[in-house]
């Protein structure tokens, strides 16, 4: 819960001593009650928030209010009232919102995990209504993701930009290549896999993607390739299952792909028959792959008949050897399948 605190600002003159603020009546934090969780303020913070309460009371919306709110949110980026009032003031003053975005750029990088930072940008984008600005925002998001590749707010904000502007010409086309680059850098980035699903399957159909069969082929090929690079990567296997479920494609259609991942020894590297449809585990991969075993067991279970005992064998190996932390889950699967088979 600790927050970054930038103490590098110059010595700040108190608002109480600033002639520009002489016309504002500062209001103290509520007093009269001995709070159970007292807040011990620094002098600077107390002074600034006293004057904030003062201008909120009178409803003043002026340039000096912008300076004050910026000062407060720099000290405490989670002060949501200050953010809120700042936005209202920007609109009331008809301030250049693009400049506000730029001012906030460095800010956001410093306080990446603060909700308000992102919500403020969302409001600005909504008010500006410009695809140009949205293009710039996507580039900004790309930059901030470099410092924290899985930041939840950042990813969610990117999804909002894409959905809100829904621009086929300038916003959507770059997304797939972009997310591919990220997966190239870190194939285990769950946020990137989720984003891929969002772009490909959950945000309408792009003009050049109307052939859904082709899209499915492409996605399966992509995912299989990534699995061959990192056979135990949960995110890739979750993506695979998601694609199959979404397109109502039977898991069994991937049996020949999955099988080499379920055995202990990697395939003979001398085996020169390269099957592009079924890329094999890369050299040095840790086998058997647990997600592959789970996947194969699901195929067997869906078969029914003899498939059930094959599935049970796999689940037993997971419970007793490969994935003992989830023993109780695998024992549940066994019981459930045997019960269903009766």
Partner 1 sequence: MSSENPPPLNIPLHIRYIQSLGENQDDLVFHMTSHLRLNAIYWGLTAVAVMGQKDALPRDLMVDYVMSCWDEKAGGFGASPGHDAHIHATSSAIQILTMQDAIDRVDVPRVVKFILSLQQPSGVFAGDSFGEIDTRFLFCAVLALSVLGHLHELDIEKTAGYIRRCKNFDGGYGAREGAESHAAQVFVCTAALAILDRLDEIDHDTLGWWLAERQLPIGGLNGRPEKLEDVCYSFWVLSSMSILRKVTWIDAEKLTEFVLSAQDLEDGGIADRPGNQVDVFHTLFGVAGLSLLGYPGLEDLDPVYCMPAKFIEAKGLRTNWQSLPRRRA
Residues annotated catalytic, as ranges: 113
Phi, psi of 339 (to 5 degrees): -65, -40
Q: Find the shortest distance in angstroms from Cβ 276 to partner 1.
A: 26
Paired tokens of 99: 């400049």
Taking alpha carbons only, the member of 290, 316, 180 closest to residue 237 is 290
The interface with partner 1 within residues 123-162 (CB under 8 A) comprises: 123, 150, 152, 155-156, 159-160
| Contact call for residue 119 and partner 1 (CB under 8 A) | yes
Among 69, 89, 144, 189, binds partner 1 (CB under 8 A): 189
Angle of the 97-110 helix axis to the 131-147 helix axis, nearest 10: 10
Task: Note the residue count of the chain.
Answer: 342
| Contact call for residue 190 and partner 1 (CB under 8 A) | yes
CB nearer to partner 1: give 154 or 228.
154
| Contact call for residue 115 and partner 1 (CB under 8 A) | yes
Alpha-helical runs (H) found in the chain: 43-58, 63-75, 80-92, 97-110, 115-128, 131-147, 152-165, 175-185, 190-201, 212-229, 234-246, 255-258, 290-303, 306-317, 327-341
Q: Binding segment for partner 1 among 99-107, 183-191, 274-282, 311-319 (CB under 8 A)? A: 183-191
Paired tokens of 226: 């990534």
CB nearer to partner 1: give 16 or 160.
160
- x-or-dash string of contact with partner 1, 30-69, rule CB under 8 A: x--xxxxxxxxxx--x-------x----------------
CB nearer to partner 1: give 140 or 201.
201
Q: Rounded distance, CA 315 to CA 297, Å? A: 7
- x-or-dash string of contact with partner 1, 216-235, rule CB under 8 A: -----------------xxx
| Contact call for residue 185 and partner 1 (CB under 8 A) | no
Among 14, 60, 80, 135, binds partner 1 (CB under 8 A): 80
Are residues 228 and 204 in contact, defined by beta-carbon separation less than 8 angstroms?
no
Q: Rounded distance, CA 152 to CA 215, Å? A: 27
Q: Find the shortest distance in angstroms from Cβ 18 to partner 1.
A: 21
Q: Rounded distance, CA 305 to CA 208, Å? A: 43
CB nearer to partner 1: give 273 or 328.
328
Q: Find the shortest distance in angstroms from Cβ 76 to partner 1.
A: 5
Cβ-defined contacts of 26-32 (< 8 Å, 24+): 26/50, 26/51, 26/53, 26/54, 27/53, 27/54, 27/57, 28/53, 29/53
Site residues (CB under 8 A) for partner 1?
Answer: 1-3, 5, 27, 29-30, 33-42, 45, 53, 75-76, 78-81, 83-84, 87, 115-116, 119, 123, 150, 152, 155-156, 159-160, 163, 188-191, 194-195, 197-198, 201-203, 233-235, 238-239, 241-243, 245-246, 325-329, 332
């Amino acid at each position: 819960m600790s927050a970054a605190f930038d103490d590098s600002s110059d010595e700040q003159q108190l608002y109480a001593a600033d002639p520009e603020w002489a016309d504002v009546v500062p209001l103290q934090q509520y007093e009269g009650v001995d709070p159970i969780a007292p807040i011990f303020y620094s002098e600077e913070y107390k002074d600034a928030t006293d004057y904030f309460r003062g201008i909120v009371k009178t409803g003043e919306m002026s340039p000096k209010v912008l300076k004050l709110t910026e000062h407060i949110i720099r000290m405490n980026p989670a002060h949501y009232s200050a953010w809120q009032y700042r936005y209202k003031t920007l609109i009331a003053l008809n301030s250049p919102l693009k400049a506000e975005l730029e001012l906030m750029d460095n800010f956001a990088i410093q306080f990446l995990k603060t909700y308000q930072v992102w919500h403020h940008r969302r409001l600005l984008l909504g008010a500006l209504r410009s695809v140009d600005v949205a293009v710039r925002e996507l580039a900004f998001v790309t930059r901030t993701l470099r410092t924290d590749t899985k930041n939840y707010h950042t990813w969610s904000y990117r999804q909002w930009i894409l959905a809100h502007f829904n621009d086929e010409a300038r916003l959507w086309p770059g997304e797939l290549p972009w997310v591919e680059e990220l997966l190239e850098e870190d194939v285990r980035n769950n946020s990137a896999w989720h984003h891929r699903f969002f772009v490909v399957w959950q945000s309408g159909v792009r003009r050049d993607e109307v052939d859904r069969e082709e899209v499915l082929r492409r996605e399966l090929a992509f995912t299989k390739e990534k699995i061959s690079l990192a056979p135990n990567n949960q995110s890739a296997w979750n993506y695979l299952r998601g694609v199959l479920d979404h397109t109502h494609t039977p898991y069994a259609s991937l049996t020949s792909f999955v099988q080499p991942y379920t055995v202990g020894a990697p395939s003979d590297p001398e085996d020169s028959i390269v099957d592009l449809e079924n890329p094999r585990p890369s050299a040095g991969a840790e086998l058997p792959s647990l997600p592959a075993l789970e996947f194969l067991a699901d195929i067997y279970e869906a078969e029914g008949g003899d498939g059930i005992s094959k599935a049970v064998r796999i689940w037993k190996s997971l419970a007793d050897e490969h994935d003992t932390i989830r023993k109780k889950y695998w024992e549940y699967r066994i019981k459930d399948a045997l019960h269903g088979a009766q």
